[in-house]
């Protein structure tokens, strides 16, 4: 077995914890659906559809209606059908989700945004490696420059911990450069639960470095697959990992407090 394609999300997984990458990309273990995932998926769909509307119609009421419509479509699916124990619990989730979603209007004015594309399915051969992912949004500014935006329905990390969150967006910037021949000038993370916007300027040298890093990751993943060696990296993030109960790092009775989560 060898690696065929690599997504920005799975590349990030391998950087954080090779064992997490194995659980998700190789073993394809199921992960329980959470109310937070339901909120994020529904919010992304509503925000995508918001930009189907003419600019003057991109209002909070319109976004709320789009969220309700998206959830009506999704709630009966196998993934979300048994998520709530009662209608009251679902109603509370809906109210809280709308409160989080409508924070979007404090981050940017959608009537002034001109998306070049949304939910863009990208598949790019970078010469020996193939990267695939779905980009939330790419805008073209009035001056012709490109900006990549990613929505997050959760809370923003403290600013000093934010740079690793840009890893996937820098990969998308590299793919856009490859596809369009133009380097995005900026990537943005929009955290709705806060709300908070983090921004990072982009230059060609960063994308050249990302290209090298992706190739090194690809080689490391292929080596891990060949040797069937995916060492876990226990740390703070383990408390939020769906696979902690089956992770070899946590099978011992007394697991030491490891300090390698930020490595």
Burial of residue 117 (CB within 10 Å: 0-12, 13-18, 19+) is: middle
| CATH match of 8-25+114-223 with 3.90.320.10 | yes
Q: Does a cis peptide bond (omega within 30 degrees of 0) precede residue 153?
A: no
Residues counted in the chain: 263
φ/ψ of 175, rounded to 5, equals -65, -40
Tell me: the pLDDT tens digits for 51-106? 999 999 999 999 999 999 999 999 999 999 889 999 999 999 999 999 999 999 99
The backbone torsions φ and ψ at residue 125, rounded to the nearest 5 degrees and listed phi first, read: -90, 115
- pLDDT over 70 (residue 257): no
State the pLDDT confidence band at 251, using cuts at 50, 70 and 90: confident
Which pTM value belongs to this model? 0.89
Q: Where are the domains of the chain?
A: 8-25+114-223, 35-110
Q: DSSP for 143-192?
A: TS-EEEEEEEEEEPPPGGG-GGGGHHHHHHHHHHHHHHS---SEEEEEEE
Q: What pLDDT, on the 0 to 100 scale, is given for residue 260? A: 40
């Amino acid at each position: 077995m060898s690696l065929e394609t690599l997504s920005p999300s799975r590349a990030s997984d391998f950087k954080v914890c090779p064992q997490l990458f194995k659980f998700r990309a190789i073993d394809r273990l199921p992960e329980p659906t959470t109310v937070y995932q339901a909120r994020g998926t529904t919010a992304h769909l509503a925000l995508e559809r918001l930009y189907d509307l003419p600019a003057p119609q991109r209002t909070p009421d319109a976004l709320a209606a789009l969220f309700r419509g998206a959830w009506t479509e999704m709630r009966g699916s196998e993934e979300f059908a048994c998520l709530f124990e009662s209608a009251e619990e679902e109603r509370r989730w809906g109210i809280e989700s709308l409160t989080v979603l409508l924070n979007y209007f404090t981050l940017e004015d959608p009537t002034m945004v001109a998306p070049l594309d949304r939910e863009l399915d990208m598949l790019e051969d970078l010469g020996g490696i193939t990267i695939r992912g779905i980009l939330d949004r790419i805008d073209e500014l009035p001056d012709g420059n490109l900006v990549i935006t990613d929505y997050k329905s959760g809370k923003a990390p403290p600013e000093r911990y934010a740079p690793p969150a840009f890893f996937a967006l820098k990969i998308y910037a590299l793919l856009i450069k490859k596809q369009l021949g133009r380097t995005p000038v900026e990537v943005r993370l929009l955290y709705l639960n806060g709300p908070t916007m983090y921004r990072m300027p982009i230059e060609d040298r960063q994308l050249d470095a990302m290209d090298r890093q992706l190739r090194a990751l690809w080689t490391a993943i292929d080596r891990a697959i060949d040797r069937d060696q995916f060492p876990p990296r226990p740390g703070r993030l383990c408390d939020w990992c769906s696979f902690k109960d089956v992770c070899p790092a946590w099978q011992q009775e007394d697991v030491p407090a490891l300090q390698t989560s930020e490595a």
